[in-house]
Structure 1
């Protein structure tokens, strides 16, 4: 049985306080300095809360993001962020067309799962043609097919204290230096600046060849330090939304490496950085503290909003 969601009702006073905080921030000079201060961080957090308040006030949990006819599918769905994970274990899976891939579902669940792509494809599927809106300002429309996250969670069975779903990914974004006093060095092959890829590159025979990189050996990986991999999270409201799926196909074909193979999250009512690629593990938690730096996602740990509703 699907767990009943117990969500706090929006509070009018909290919304007005958040709105006032946003107006105050917009009127200030030296916004960057203010944003770095404790008061600024509280004001920005109030603005994020206001964004979620308004969206969930206006929309029901089942309200759908707009879907489009196939005639409006973009001829090229721009890959961004990581386009070819450098991680040795991931490259070994990709070289075998992801034979042997298992999605781990664990944490606060009654029945931990290890699901192959065949297992996932055997579950009820959903196909949706939606628009991806990137925080950088570009958009693309694609047809996604995958298993609703709700199906996976129902199969695992959530424990009563479950509150968040955390997605752990294969792509290393940077390395934590061995010496904690040293600044972590960004891994250039992880493409943290979201560099664009030439049009049509995702249609080449090998995504690894298109990106022009080779898998590093274990010694090389260890020499760079502890890998910091991409992660994201959503709450149960978005997890059980009918358009929240773990997609394995894009435009009627298996998901390319550049777009997140073998599995990526689609949570259609939020911005692109929430659409996690290269999903390897789904963890159910009570809180986000203790995962990454506690912000709820790789970019959130670096100042992005956790709730990126559109």
Structure 2
């Protein structure tokens, strides 16, 4: 058996040093994974956002939280920081549009919360201060917690002038207008968007006979991939789904899409040529017609899925 002649005091100092380093790395890890910016009460303009969120070395990351009494004012075309992936608008917090504005594809979710439902305190909201449109990417979802308080009422999650010049776009396609559409090429107004819990997005799952959390066993191919459009939006026609490879060390072979019930769900199979980390993209093209409204318009939804074949 080997022995080591280490002075007891030196050994103790090394243990203390290692313990301190471990704590520092742990705290750094926690800071990195939970980093967020909480806006102060009052108005923060898009130009001031990075300065306000400078706690993280002028590099805001993670979640932007807009609490009660706080407003993010989109008053210039300055780009929203790409390091924020989510915006959480809490009760009586506001995103205010002072012009037409486009969020970048790096923003994945906008949550409009309403902790008390329709019990008197306004929900988190997006307010259109004039005849403006808001454009989100094909991979971004607006999630609305209060599906009771409709547009035009106090406390609604989407507020602004009741006319067709106020709109919501997904990608380059108009999805909804503030007022019930009339020959605008869309079927949804803001009240329907609220009632449906927000905008549609894609859910996804990758699995094999052995594997979970999108980590699958290379020797158990093919893998099953399933995607569906979230929510209960009553589209009358099914979406057209396609799959593609974004990145990865080998080739990816996709099988034919199989439509499932409900009609906004599809299943496919994939095989990869070598182990490694792959990013796959599912794309859905959805016609916007509903039971009481037929239009030729479509929207495109996308979702990137990371999977590891071990």
Same fold (TM over 0.5): no
Structure of higher CA gyration radius: 2
TM-score w.r.t. structure 2 length? 0.26
The structure in which a higher percent of residues are strand is 2
The structure in which a higher percent of residues are helix is 1
